[in-house]
Amino acid sequence: MSEAKTTTVEVKLPTRLGYEKVAMSTAASVAKLMGFPEDRVEDLKTAVAEACINAIEHGNRLNETLSVGVVLRANTDQLEVKVIDDGTGIKRQPAKPDIDRKMHGEEDPRGMGMFLIQALVDEAEWVAGSDGKSSYVRLLIKLDKNDTA
Amino acid sequence: MQTETKSRVDQLTTPAGHPVTVLRFEGDIASTSKDAVLGVYQALPKDSTKLVLLDFTGVDYINSSGIALVIQLLIEASNAGQKVYAFGLSPHFTKVFTMVGITKYAGLFPSQTEAMAAL
């Protein structure tokens, strides 16, 4: 993994809850090969799992005839993960979850996935497919984050 | 694909003499865990349960749907006047629980021993 070239790993998941763990394990394996410390691997696992759950539930709307694509591109200093579904993409970012509002019944206890993704990786962007489908979320985690912090 | 969530209930007494109901979870905590998390909690006797301790020692994977179940448990416990604490979370999920604000409503301890000593 020390060469400057990019290594690509692709996984195709069924649209079925639980299979996000396959993407999670794959991302963790790639990140470990790249030399990410354990805490960053754990951050990536949660972010990838949440991105896949969103793709399964909201992008593909639990339609089992569709698939979720996961493309990991690793180079010397960063790992990019794209999670691709057949949805139209998100219209707007949800508000940051507020535990007090949740505890008082003013906000749904759910709805923390995108917040967790953004909080746990270095970059996250949601891109709507130009054809009304093939939308994706792109995550980026940088290898030297802890070294330079 | 998801590991089934197992849960069991233990009744303990703290060194200070307070009865504590411990809910021990094992496996994944996800959207399929409603019965194992909320169902088991809701079956506890409301009048005699004052302190609830959640044991995550045997849990490897918690996703946002699982966190939402924990928050629902906290809401019901708050409405019932119960105090909830937790232990056994990995460093990563301790961070996640802190990020989403759960620690504001449920104190976290590294281990059962430390939790029992503090309650």
In this predicted complex, what is the ipTM?
A: 0.92
Which of B93, B94, B38 has its CA nearest to residue B69? B38
| Chain B interface disruption, residue of A116, A117, A146, most B CBs within 10 A | A116
d(CA B67, CA B50): 22
Tokens representing B16 are: 């200070």
Q: Which domains are present in chain A?
A: 7-148 (3.30.565.10)
| Chain B interface disruption, residue of A44, A46, A57, A58, most B CBs within 10 A | A46
Q: What is this structure's pTM?
A: 0.93
Longest C-alpha distance within chain B, in Å? 43
Judge: A43–B63 Cβ closer than 8 Å, yes or no: no
| Alpha carbon distance, N-terminus to C-terminus of chain A | 23
Which of B64, B74, B104 has the CB atom closest to A112's CB atom? B64
Residues from chain A contacting residue B64 (CB–CB below 8 Å): 50, 53, 110-113, 116
Residues from chain A contacting residue B92 (CB–CB below 8 Å): 39, 42-43, 46
Which pLDDT tens digit goes with each residue over A62-109? 999 999 999 999 999 999 999 999 998 887 788 889 999 999 999 999
So where are chain B's domains?
Answer: 6-118
A148 has a pLDDT exceeding 50: no
The confidence band for B40, taking pLDDT boundaries of 50, 70 and 90, is very high
A126 has a pLDDT exceeding 90: yes
Q: Domain B6-118, what fold?
A: Transcription Regulator spoIIAA (3.30.750)
B96 has a pLDDT exceeding 80: yes
The minimum CA-CA distance between A37 and chain B, rounded to whole Å, is: 12
Judge: A21–B61 Cβ closer than 8 Å, yes or no: yes
A1 has a pLDDT exceeding 60: no
The minimum CA-CA distance between A44 and chain B, rounded to whole Å, is: 11
Which of A27, A78, A31 has its CA nearest to residue A51? A27
